[in-house]
C-alpha cells in the first residue's frame, strides 16, 4: 500500500469522479445480486470488495488527491464500499439460508428405516419370574436362601419327616446318584434349603427359596425331569395358619393383581401338619369360571380356581430334627412351581419351551416380566 | 378312589336332595379331593328300554353262524314307532347271542340311541331282515365284561318300555377322589361314607359293625411265626361253592364303577369286600393248600411264582404265606400261582390278615408290584376289621355261589391297643389362628372316631385303629381344623423384623443377567444331564475335570446318565437347535449350577431326626457333597451386527466371546487377565484363558472347527464358559470415586514394532507401567504386519492420553511420559518405534 504521494500534483491526476464511483458500486451490487450461491458470492467478494477490486483501488487513490479533494472522494468511495459490504452481508445471509435449507432437504432420510443393527437380548422368564417372586417377599422383610442342587438324602428327606419307608419317597420319583446307596440325590424340592436355614440360623427367620429341582418324570408338554420351585418358610413365636393365609393372599395379589386371593384345602405333606393345598382365584375370570356369554375360562377350565401349590404349619418333627425349639417357635411353609405359575400367568402352552433354548421364547418376554 | 354315590348313601344317611356335586364338594373340603365326577349314563343316549322277547327264530347263515331273528316288545309307544306300526306287535331285531329265551326281559337300544364310544343305532338291513335296534350286552353298555352274551334281566326287573337306565343303575354317579397317603381309611366306602356323614352331620352305619362267629380251633390251622409282620390273621372256609355261579350284576357294576374289573364270583367278592371295608382279602383254592398255613419271613433267595406268572426271588425281609409245599403267597402283596382260585374251585379258603405296612411297602417296591390290595396294606388298613371282613366274604360267597360256611373260625393274634395322643386343649386355636373352643375340638375329634378325655390343660385322645396316621398333637390339630373348615382360617400378614435384603451374590447375578441381556444375549435354561458322548464330541480330554460329572443311579437316558460339570453341552445343543430352526444368528447365555463329583466318590451320612446334628456332623455332610459352582456360558454364532441399509454387518468371532467377559469384568471392577491357551473344545489358536489374579475363571474364544462340524454349528462359533461365582467373588464391594481433571488432555500416538509372538496385552501393560501417573488411558488402534516391518514382527499402534490433575501438560512433559512408556516396552519386549 502506498503512502500519501506528497509530490503528486492533484491537478494532473484523474479525479475520482462521482459517476465512476457510482458505476463501480453499481457494478458490484449487480454482481452481488447475481451471485447464485455462496461459491459465486465468494468470487464476487474478491472481485468487488477484495484488495484488487476497483473500489479498493479507488480508495487507494484517495491519498493521492489534493487535500481539498480528499474529503469528498473519501466520502464517495466510503459510501460505495459501505453499500457493497452491506449488500455482500445481506446476500451472504440469504445464500446461507438457502444453502442450509437445501442441505436440510438433501439430508432428509427415511426415518422409518429399521434402526436395530444388532438383536435385542433377553433374560429367561424363569430367572425374572423367580426375581419377581423374591422381590415380593423381600419387600415384606423376607430373605432369599439358596442351597445345592446335588443334595444329601438326609436333608432332602429325613430331616423333613420323610423317613426311609415314607410312601412320599417313591411318590417323588427321586434321581439317586451313583452308587445308589450313597445317600446323595438331586434335590426333589427346595425344602432342603429350608432345613439348611433352620440348621444354620437362629429363629426368627422368614426366607424364600427359589431353585431348580428334579424328579424322574418323562419330558412332555406338562412334565419335566427338571423344574423350578419357590418355597417359603417362616419361623417365629406365635406363627399360625392365619399368617400363612395372610402371606399367600398377599403374594397372590402382588403376582396376579389386587383382589386375587387363595383358598386352602386339606392335604398331606410330611413336613407340614396341618397341611393344605393352595388354590388361587382365577385371575382371568376372577373366579367366575367363564365370561358373561357363557364361554368357559381357558385358564382355569371353568373351575374359577387354579391349583397353585402346597403349604402348612411346619411339622414339629421337622423343627426338632433341625434343632429349632418346637415349644417356643412355630412356623409355616409353602411351595409352588415357578414354571407352572409362569405357564398359567402368561398362557405358555408347552413346558418344554422353557428348556429348549429357542431364542424366540425368552425374547418374547424381554429383560423383565 | 372311585366311590359310587349310591354306595356312599348305603352307610351315610345323606339327605335325599344332596346332589353328587354337593357331596363331592363337601368331601373335597374335608381333604378327599374331587378328581372327576362321573355322571352316570352320560355316554349313552336313549331310547334304552326294557324289552320282552316275543319270538326267537334261529337262522343259520351262509357264513356258518347262527343268528336269532327276534321280535321284542318294547312297550306300545315304541312298538308303534319302531315296529310294524302296531302297538301290540314287537319290533324286529337280529341278535347274535343265544343266552336268552322267549319271555325273557332284555335291554334294548332303539334307533336314535347312542352307545358308549359314539356307536349310533339306526334301523338297518342285516342278515335279510330290517333290524330296528339292538339287544345289549354288558360290555356294549360299558358295564363290564360279558359273561356269555346279552344282559338277561330278572323277571321282576320291570315292564317292556321301562327306562333301562334306572333298571341297570346307569344313572349312578361316581365320585373319583384323590386320596392322600395319610388317609388310607378313605380307600374304602366305609371311610368315604364316614367322611360324607361327618360332612353333612348325619348318621353313619359302619359296614364292619356286624356280629361275627367266635374264634375257635375248628378252622383251618394257621401258625404265625412273625406276629410283628402279621399281627392278625383270620381264616374262614367256604365249601360246596359253585365256581360257575355268575357275579350278580349289581356287584359287577359296583366293581366296575370303583375302577376294577369283574373276574369271577369268588375274586369279585374278595374285591367287593375290600372296597367296602378297606381290608384286602385273599382267597385260596383250599383243595390246593397242603396243611397248615404258616406266616414267616422268606429266606434270602427263596423263590415263589406269584399269580401273575412271575417267578420272584425273595429277600429275607419279605413276608410269606407258606404251607407244607413251601411258599404259596407273598403275604399281603400277591398270592402264589399254586393255590390260585380257578374255574373249578369249590372250596374257598378266605384270608383276612393285617400286615405290617412298612414290610408291605418294601416288598411292593422291591418286587415292583402295585395292586389295590398292596396300596391299602402299605398305607395301613384297620387291623380290627379282619374278622368282620372275612365274615362278609363268607356271607357273599354263600349267598351268590351256593355252598356253606364250613365250621370253624381261625383267628391268630389280635388288633393292637388304640394309640393315645395327648394334646394341649388350646393347641388347635394356637396353631390355626382360628377361634376354636374346647367343646368344638372335642366334638370334632369324636367325629373322626377318637375317644376324648380331659386331663388338666390337656385333652387325651384315644385314636381309632383306622387312623394310624394320627400320632402327634399336630395331627389332631389338622383333624379339628379341617372339620372347622380351612375356609375359615383368617388372613393375617406376619411382621418380620427387618430383613437383610438380597445378598451381594444375588444382587450381582441380577446385574450380570441385565448386562448380558443389554449386550444382546438371550438367556436360556438347559437340561443339565450329560454323558461321555457329549464330552467326546467336544474333544474334552479324559483327565479333564469337566469329565467329573455326577453319575445318576437312575438316569432317564443312558446317553446322559449324569449331572453335568460343564454348561457347554447343554448350551451348544440349544445353539444348534436355534440354527436348526432357521435362526440367522445365535447369541445366548446361561447361568446355572454345575457339579464336580469328588474323586474319592460320593457318600453322605444319614443322621437321626430327634435332634439337630452336631456342627461337626453337619460339616461332614457338607464336605461329602460335590463342589457346585455357578457357571456362565455364552454362545455367539453368525451376525453379531446384522447386515442392513447401513452396511454389511459383522459376524461374531473369538473377540466377541472374550469381550462379553471383559465387559462384565469392567462393570464389576474386576481386573481380568487374558492369555492365550489351548483347551478343548476351543480353536487352539483362538482360545483365551481368563484369569483374575491366580484364579482361572474359564475360557473364551472360537470353537475348534471340528467341533463346529460335529455339532452342526456355523464356522467360527464363539463360546465362553467361566466360573461365575469366582468372577463375582472378585468384585470389590465399594468402588472409590474418581477425581476428574478439567485440564486439557495431551494425546500421543506411538507405533511399536515388536516380535509377532509378543502379546498385545503385554505391550500395553508395559506402556502403562512406563508412562506413569500422567497416563489416563491407552488404546490399541491398529495392528500392522507386512512389508514395512521386519519379518516375524508386527507393528502395534497405541493412542495414549495423558493428563495431569493440577495443570496443563507442556509438550515436553507429554513427550517425556510417552518416551518413558516406549522405553519400558523396549526394555521388556525389544519394541522400537516405527519410523
Q: Are B682 and B720 in contact (CB under 8 A)?
A: no
Interface of B with A in 482-501 (CB under 8 A): 482, 486-487, 489-501
Q: How far is the C-alpha of B619 from the C-alpha of B559, rounded, in Å? A: 34
Q: Are A338 and A133 in contact (CB under 8 A)?
A: yes
Using a CB-CB cut-off of 8 Å, the residues of chain B touching A118 are 520, 639-642
Using a CB-CB cut-off of 8 Å, the residues of chain A touching B575 are 357
B274 belongs to a structural domain: yes
Whole-number Cα distances in Å, B54 to A118, B61, B70, B121, B560: 85, 22, 7, 21, 70
C-alpha cell at B792: 516375524
B208 belongs to a structural domain: no
Check pLDDT > 50 for residue A302.
yes
Q: Under 8 Å CB-to-CB from A96, ≥6 apart: which residues?
A: A38
pLDDT of B730: 97
Cβ-defined contact of B499 to A247 (cutoff 8 Å): no
Q: Count Cβ atoms below 10 Å from residue B734 Cβ, excluding itself.
A: 6
Confidence of residue B45 (pLDDT cuts 50, 70, 90): confident
Cβ-defined contact of B610 to A320 (cutoff 8 Å): yes
Q: What is the pLDDT of residues A133-154, one digit of tens each?
A: 999 999 999 999 999 999 999 9
Cβ-defined contact of A265 to B583 (cutoff 8 Å): no
Cβ-defined contact of A264 to B489 (cutoff 8 Å): yes
Q: How far is the C-alpha of B561 from the C-alpha of B57, rounded, in Å? A: 68
CATH code for the domain of B183: 3.30.56.10
Q: Averaged over B396-407, what is the pLDDT?
A: 94
pLDDT of A11: 46
- Average per-residue pLDDT for chain B: 93
Q: Which residue among B478, B490, B640 places its CB closest to the CB of A242?
A: B490
Exposure of B93 in the CB half-sphere (CA atoms within 13 A): 30
Helix (H, G, I), strand (E, B) or coil at B314: coil
Question: When comparing pLDDT for A73 and B412, which is higher?
Answer: B412
Confidence of residue A53 (pLDDT cuts 50, 70, 90): confident
Check pLDDT > 90 for residue B707.
yes
Specify the CATH number for A125-365; select among 3.40.50.1220, 3.30.930.10, 3.40.50.2300, 3.40.50.620. Answer: 3.30.930.10
Using a CB-CB cut-off of 8 Å, the residues of chain B touching A266 are 29-31, 478, 481-482, 486
Instruction: Name which of A150, A160, A162, A128 is nearest B514 in CA terms.
Output: A128
Residue range(s) defining the domain that contains residue B91: 48-168
C-alpha cell at A184: 446323595
B525 touches chain A (CB under 8 A): yes
Shared domain for B784 and B755, answered yes or no, is yes
B104 belongs to a structural domain: yes
pLDDT of A5: 56
Q: What is the pLDDT of residues B299-351, one digit of tens each?
A: 999 999 999 999 999 999 999 999 999 999 999 999 999 999 999 999 999 99
C-alpha cell at B307: 399269580
Q: Averaged over B567-587, what is the pLDDT?
A: 96
Q: Averaged over B116-142, what is the pLDDT?
A: 85
Shared domain for B254 and B350, answered yes or no, is yes
- The residue in chain B having the minimum alpha-carbon distance to the alpha carbon of residue A167 is B181
Cβ-defined contact of B556 to A218 (cutoff 8 Å): yes
Q: What is the pLDDT of residues B526-545, one digit of tens each?
A: 999 999 999 999 999 999 99
Q: Which residue among A149, A161, A250 places its CB closest to the CB of B628?
A: A149
Q: How far is the C-alpha of B571 from the C-alpha of B522, rounded, in Å? A: 11
Q: Which residue among B489, B502, B527 places its CB closest to the CB of A138?
A: B502
B738 belongs to a structural domain: no
Helix (H, G, I), strand (E, B) or coil at A255: helix
Shared domain for B185 and B292, answered yes or no, is no
Check pLDDT > 60 for residue A12.
no
Confidence of residue A10 (pLDDT cuts 50, 70, 90): very low
C-alpha cell at B418: 388304640
**Of the candidates B168, B183, B212, which is a domain's last residue?**
B168
Q: How far is the C-alpha of A214 from the C-alpha of A237, rounded, in Å? A: 33
B638 touches chain A (CB under 8 A): no
B518 belongs to a structural domain: yes
Q: Chain A interface, mutation test: which of B493, B494, B509, B577, most A Cβ atoms within 10 Å?
A: B494
Torsion A172-A178-A180-A184 (CA) sign:
negative
Shared domain for B126 and B18, answered yes or no, is no
Shared domain for B246 and B372, answered yes or no, is yes
**Of the candidates B395, B413, B431, which is a domain's last residue?**
B413
Q: Are A43 and A1 in contact (CB under 8 A)?
A: no
B111 belongs to a structural domain: yes
In chain B, count H helices and then E strands: 22, 44
B523 belongs to a structural domain: yes
Torsion B735-B739-B744-B750 (CA) sign:
negative
Q: Shortest Cα distance from B238 to chain A (angstroms)?
A: 36
- The residue in chain B having the minimum alpha-carbon distance to the alpha carbon of residue A113 is B645
Shared domain for B508 and B438, answered yes or no, is no
The pairing of strands B682-692 and B114-115 is unpaired
Cβ-defined contact of A165 to B361 (cutoff 8 Å): yes
Check pLDDT > 80 for residue A9.
no
Using a CB-CB cut-off of 8 Å, the residues of chain A touching B433 are 240-243, 245
Cα B520 → chain centroid: 37
Angle at B197 between CA B193 and CA B199, to 5 degrees: 115
Q: Count Cβ atoms below 10 Å from residue A294 Cβ, excluding itself.
A: 7
Task: Tell me what ipTM this predicted complex has.
Answer: 0.88
Q: Which residue among A117, A154, A245 places its CB closest to the CB of B646?
A: A117
Shared domain for B565 and B591, answered yes or no, is yes
Cβ-defined contact of A178 to B520 (cutoff 8 Å): no
Provide φ and ψ at B516, rounded to 5°. -65, -40
Q: Which residue among B482, B513, B578 places its CB closest to the CB of A266?
A: B482
Name the maximum alpha-carbon separation found in chain A.
137
Question: When comparing pLDDT for A291 and B304, which is higher?
Answer: B304
Q: Are A230 and A338 in contact (CB under 8 A)?
A: yes
Shared domain for B160 and B276, answered yes or no, is no
For B84-123, b/e burial (b = at least 16 CB within 10 A) is eeeeeebbbbbbbbeebeeebbbbbbbbebebeeeeebee
Shared domain for B183 and B152, answered yes or no, is no
pLDDT of A4: 55
CATH code for the domain of B755: 3.30.70.380
Q: What is the 3-state secondary structure (H, E, C) of B640-686?
A: EECCECCECCEECCHHHHHHHHHHHHHHHCCCCEEEECCCCCEEEEE
CATH code for the domain of B121: 2.40.50.140
CATH code for the domain of B337: 3.50.40.10
Q: Averaged over B134-159, what is the pLDDT?
A: 80
Instruction: Name which of B539, B661, B544, B547 is nearest B595 in CA terms.
Output: B547
Q: Are B5 and B20 in contact (CB under 8 A)?
A: yes
Check pLDDT > 50 for residue A202.
yes
B819 touches chain A (CB under 8 A): no
Beta strands in A113-244 (DSSP E): 143-144, 150-152, 184-186, 205-214, 226-236
Shared domain for B572 and B675, answered yes or no, is yes
pLDDT of A129: 97
Q: How far is the C-alpha of A320 from the C-alpha of A313, rounded, in Å? A: 14
B551 touches chain A (CB under 8 A): yes
C-alpha cell at A216: 424322574
Q: Which residue among A183, A199, A245 places its CB closest to the CB of B618?
A: A199
Shared domain for B308 and B435, answered yes or no, is no
Window from A233-247, B63-77, B721-735 with minimum mean pLDDT:
B63-77
Cβ-defined contact of B490 to A126 (cutoff 8 Å): no
In chain A, count H helices and then E strands: 13, 9
Q: Chain A interface, mutation test: which of B505, B510, B519, B523, most A Cβ atoms within 10 Å?
A: B523
Q: Shortest Cα distance from B429 to chain A (angstroms)?
A: 9
Cβ-defined contact of B431 to A124 (cutoff 8 Å): no
Using a CB-CB cut-off of 8 Å, the residues of chain A touching B587 are 119, 121, 359
C-alpha cell at B629: 459352582
The pairing of strands B152-153 and B48-60 is unpaired
Q: Shortest Cα distance from B719 to chain A (angstroms)?
A: 15
Cβ-defined contact of B491 to A249 (cutoff 8 Å): yes
Cβ-defined contact of B527 to A199 (cutoff 8 Å): no
**Total tally of structural domains belonging to chain B:** 6
Cβ-defined contact of B527 to A313 (cutoff 8 Å): no
Using a CB-CB cut-off of 8 Å, the residues of chain A touching B548 are none
Window from A207-221, A307-321, B73-87 with minimum mean pLDDT:
B73-87
Instruction: Name which of A342, A341, A322, A344 is nearest A333 in CA terms.
Output: A322
Long-range pairs, B248-252, Cβ under 8 A, ≥24: B248/B400, B249/B138, B249/B143, B249/B151, B249/B168, B250/B169, B251/B396, B251/B400, B252/B138, B252/B143, B252/B144
B391 belongs to a structural domain: yes
Q: Averaged over B226-231, what is the pLDDT?
A: 96
Q: Which residue among A138, A153, A241 places its CB closest to the CB of B432?
A: A241
pLDDT of A70: 82
Whole-number Cα distances in Å, B250 to B109, B254, B688: 20, 6, 78
Q: Are B36 and B24 in contact (CB under 8 A)?
A: no
Shared domain for B542 and B656, answered yes or no, is yes
Beta strands in B390-471 (DSSP E): 404-405, 410-413, 420-424, 451-455, 458-462
Amino acid at each position: 500500500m502506498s503512502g500519501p504521494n506528497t509530490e503528486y500534483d492533484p491537478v494532473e491526476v484523474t479525479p475520482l469522479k462521482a459517476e465512476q464511483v457510482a458505476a463501480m458500486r453499481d457494478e458490484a451490487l449487480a454482481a452481488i445480486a447475481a451471485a447464485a450461491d455462496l461459491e459465486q458470492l465468494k468470487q464476487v467478494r474478491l472481485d468487488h470488495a477484495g484488495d484488487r477490486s476497483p473500489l479498493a483501488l479507488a480508495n487507494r487513490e484517495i491519498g493521492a488527491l489534493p487535500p481539498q479533494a480528499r474529503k469528498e472522494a473519501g466520502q464517495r468511495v466510503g459510501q460505495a464500499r459501505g453499500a457493497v459490504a452491506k449488500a455482500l452481508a445481506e446476500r451472504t445471509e440469504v445464500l446461507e439460508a438457502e444453502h442450509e435449507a437445501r442441505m436440510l432437504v438433501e439430508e432428509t432420510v427415511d426415518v422409518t428405516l429399521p434402526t436395530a443393527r444388532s438383536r435385542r437380548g433377553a433374560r429367561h422368564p424363569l430367572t425374572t419370574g423367580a426375581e419377581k417372586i423374591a422381590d415380593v417377599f423381600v419387600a415384606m422383610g423376607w430373605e432369599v436362601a439358596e442351597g445345592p442342587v446335588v443334595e444329601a438324602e438326609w436333608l432332602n428327606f429325613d430331616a423333613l419327616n420323610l423317613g426311609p419307608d415314607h410312601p412320599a419317597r417313591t411318590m417323588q420319583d427321586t434321581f439317586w446318584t451313583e452308587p445308589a446307596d450313597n445317600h446323595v440325590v438331586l434335590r426333589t424340592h427346595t425344602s432342603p434349603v429350608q432345613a439348611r436355614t433352620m440348621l444354620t440360623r437362629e429363629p426368627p427367620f422368614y426366607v424364600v427359596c427359589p431353585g431348580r429341582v428334579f424328579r424322574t418324570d418323562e419330558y412332555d408338554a406338562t412334565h419335566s425331569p427338571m423344574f423350578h420351585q419357590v418355597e417359603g418358610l417362616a419361623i417365629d413365636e406365635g406363627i399360625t395358619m392365619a399368617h400363612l393365609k395372610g402371606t399367600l393372599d398377599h403374594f397372590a395379589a402382588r403376582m396376579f393383581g389386587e383382589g386375587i386371593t387363595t383358598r386352602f384345602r386339606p392335604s398331606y405333606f410330611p413336613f407340614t401338619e396341618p397341611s393344605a393345598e393352595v388354590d388361587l382365584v382365577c385371575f382371568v375370570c376372577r373366579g367366575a369360571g367363564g365370561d358373561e356369554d357363557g364361554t368357559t375360562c381357558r385358564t382355569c377350565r371353568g373351575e374359577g380356581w387354579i391349583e397353585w401349590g402346597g403349604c402348612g404349619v411346619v411339622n414339629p418333627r421337622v423343627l426338632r430334627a433341625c434343632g429349632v425349639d418346637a415349644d417356643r417357635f412355630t412356623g409355616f411353609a409353602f411351595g409352588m412351581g415357578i414354571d407352572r405359575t409362569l405357564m398359567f400367568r402368561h398362557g405358555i402352552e408347552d413346558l418344554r419351551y422353557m428348556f429348549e433354548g429357542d431364542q424366540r421364547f425368552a425374547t418374547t418376554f424381554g429383560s423383565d416380566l | 378312589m372311585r366311590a359310587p354315590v349310591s354306595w356312599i348313601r348305603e352307610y351315610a344317611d345323606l339327605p335325599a336332595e344332596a346332589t353328587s356335586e354337593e357331596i363331592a364338594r363337601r368331601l373335597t373340603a374335608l381333604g378327599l379331593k374331587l378328581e372327576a365326577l362321573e355322571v352316570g349314563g352320560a355316554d349313552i343316549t336313549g331310547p334304552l328300554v326294557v324289552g320282552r322277547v316275543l319270538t326267537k327264530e334261529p337262522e343259520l347263515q351262509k357264513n356258518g353262524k347262527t343268528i336269532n331273528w327276534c321280535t321284542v316288545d318294547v312297550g306300545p309307544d315304541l312298538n308303534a314307532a319302531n315296529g310294524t306300526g302296531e302297538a301290540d306287535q314287537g319290533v324286529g331285531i337280529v341278535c347274535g347271542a343265544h343266552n336268552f329265551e322267549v319271555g325273557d326281559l332284555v335291554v334294548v337300544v332303539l334307533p336314535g340311541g347312542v352307545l358308549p364310544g359314539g356307536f349310533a343305532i339306526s334301523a338297518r338291513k342285516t342278515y335279510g331282515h330290517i333290524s330296528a335296534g339292538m339287544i345289549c350286552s354288558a360290555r356294549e353298555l360299558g358295564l363290564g365284561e360279558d359273561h356269555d352274551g346279552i344282559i338277561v334281566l330278572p323277571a321282576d326287573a320291570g315292564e317292556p318300555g321301562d327306562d333301562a337306565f334306572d333298571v341297570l343303575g346307569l344313572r349312578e354317579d361316581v365320585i373319583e377322589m384323590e386320596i392322600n397317603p395319610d388317609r388310607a381309611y378313605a380307600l374304602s366306602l366305609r371311610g368315604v361314607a364316614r367322611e360324607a356323614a361327618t360332612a353333612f352331620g348325619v348318621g353313619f352305619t359302619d359296614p364292619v359293625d356286624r356280629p361275627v362267629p367266635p374264634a375257635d380251633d375248628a378252622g383251618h390251622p394257621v401258625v404265625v411265626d412273625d406276629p410283628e409282620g402279621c399281627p392278625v390273621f383270620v381264616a374262614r372256609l367256604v365249601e360246596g361253592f359253585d365256581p360257575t355261579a355268575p357275579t350278580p350284576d349289581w356287584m359287577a357294576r359296583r366293581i366296575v364303577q370303583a375302577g376294577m374289573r369283574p373276574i369271577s364270583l369268588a375274586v369279585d367278592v374278595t374285591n367287593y369286600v375290600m372296597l367296602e371295608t378297606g381290608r384286602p382279602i385273599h382267597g385260596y383254592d383250599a383243595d390246593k393248600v397242603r396243611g397248615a398255613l404258616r406266616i414267616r419271613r422268606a429266606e434270602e433267595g427263596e423263590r415263589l411264582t406269584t399269580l401273575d406268572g412271575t417267578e420272584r426271588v425273595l429277600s429275607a425281609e419279605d413276608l410269606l404265606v407258606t404251607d407244607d409245599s413251601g411258599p404259596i403267597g407273598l403275604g399281603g402283596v400277591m398270592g402264589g400261582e399254586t393255590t390260585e382260585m380257578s374255574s373249578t374251585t369249590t372250596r374257598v379258603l378266605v384270608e383276612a390278615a393285617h400286615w405290617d405296612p412298612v414290610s408291605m411297602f418294601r416288598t411292593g417296591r422291591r418286587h415292583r408290584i402295585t395292586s389295590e390290595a398292596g396300596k391299602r396294606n402299605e398305607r395301613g388298613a384297620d387291623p380290627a376289621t379282619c374278622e368282620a371282613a372275612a365274615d362278609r366274604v363268607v356271607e357273599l360267597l354263600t349267598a351268590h355261589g351256593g355252598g356253606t360256611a364250613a365250621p370253624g373260625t381261625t383267628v391268630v393274634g389280635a388288633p393292637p391297643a388304640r394309640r393315645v395322643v395327648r394334646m394341649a386343649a388350646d393347641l388347635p386355636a394356637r396353631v390355626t389362628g382360628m377361634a376354636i373352643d374346647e367343646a368344638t375340638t372335642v366334638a370334632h375329634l369324636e367325629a373322626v372316631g377318637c375317644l376324648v378325655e380331659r386331663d388338666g390343660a390337656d385333652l387325651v385322645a384315644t385314636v381309632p385303629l383306622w387312623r394310624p396316621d394320627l400320632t402327634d398333637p399336630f395331627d389332631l390339630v389338622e383333624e379339628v381344623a379341617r372339620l372347622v373348615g380351612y375356609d375359615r382360617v383368617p388372613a393375617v400378614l406376619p411382621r418380620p423384623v427387618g430383613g437383610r435384603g438380597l445378598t451381594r451374590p444375588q444382587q450381582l447375578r441380577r446385574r450380570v443377567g441385565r448386562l448380558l441381556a443389554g449386550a444382546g444375549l438371550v438367556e436360556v435354561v438347559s437340561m443339565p444331564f450329560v454323558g461321555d458322548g457329549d464330552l467326546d464330541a467336544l474333544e474334552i480330554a479324559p483327565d479333564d475335570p469337566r469329565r467329573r460329572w455326577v453319575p445318576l443311579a437312575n438316569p432317564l437316558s443312558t446317553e446322559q446318565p449324569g449331572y453335568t460339570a460343564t454348561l457347554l453341552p447343554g448350551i451348544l445343543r440349544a445353539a444348534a437347535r436355534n440354527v436348526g430352526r432357521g435362526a440367522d444368528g445365535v447369541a445366548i447365555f446361561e447361568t446355572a449350577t454345575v457339579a464336580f463329583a469328588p474323586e474319592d466318590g460320593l457318600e453322605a451320612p444319614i443322621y437321626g431326626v430327634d435332634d439337630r446334628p452336631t456342627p461337626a456332623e453337619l460339616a461332614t455332610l457338607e464336605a461329602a457333597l460335590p463342589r457346585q459352582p455357578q457357571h456362565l456360558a455364552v454362545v455367539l454364532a453368525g451376525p453379531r451386527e446384522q447386515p442392513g441399509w447401513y452396511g454389511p454387518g459383522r459376524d461374531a468371532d473369538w473377540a466377541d466371546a472374550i469381550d462379553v467377559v471383559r465387559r462384565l469384568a469392567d462393570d464389576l471392577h474386576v481386573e481380568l487377565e487374558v492369555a492365550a491357551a489351548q483347551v478343548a473344545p476351543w480353536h487352539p489358536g483362538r482360545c483365551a484363558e481368563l484369569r483374575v489374579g491366580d484364579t482361572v475363571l474359564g475360557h473364551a474364544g472360537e470353537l475348534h472347527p471340528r467341533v463346529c462340524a460335529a455339532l452342526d454349528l456355523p464356522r467360527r462359533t464363539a463360546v465362553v464358559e467361566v466360573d461365575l461365582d469366582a468372577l463375582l467373588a472378585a468384585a470389590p464391594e465399594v468402588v472409590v470415586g474418581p477425581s476428574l481433571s478439567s485440564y486439557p488432555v495431551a494425546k500421543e500416538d506411538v507405533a511399536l514394532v515388536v516380535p509377532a509372538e509378543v502379546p498385545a496385552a503385554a505391550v500395553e501393560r508395559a506402556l502403562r507401567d512406563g508412562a506413569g501417573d500422567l497416563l489416563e488411558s491407552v488404546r490399541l488402534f491398529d495392528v500392522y504386519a507386512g512389508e514395512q516391518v521386519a519379518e516375524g514382527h508386527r507393528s502395534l499402534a497405541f493412542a495414549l492420553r495423558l493428563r495431569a490433575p493440577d495443570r496443563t501438560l507442556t509438550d515436553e512433559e507429554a513427550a517425556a511420559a510417552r518416551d518413558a512408556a516406549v522405553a519400558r516396552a523396549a526394555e521388556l519386549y525389544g519394541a522400537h518405534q516405527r519410523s
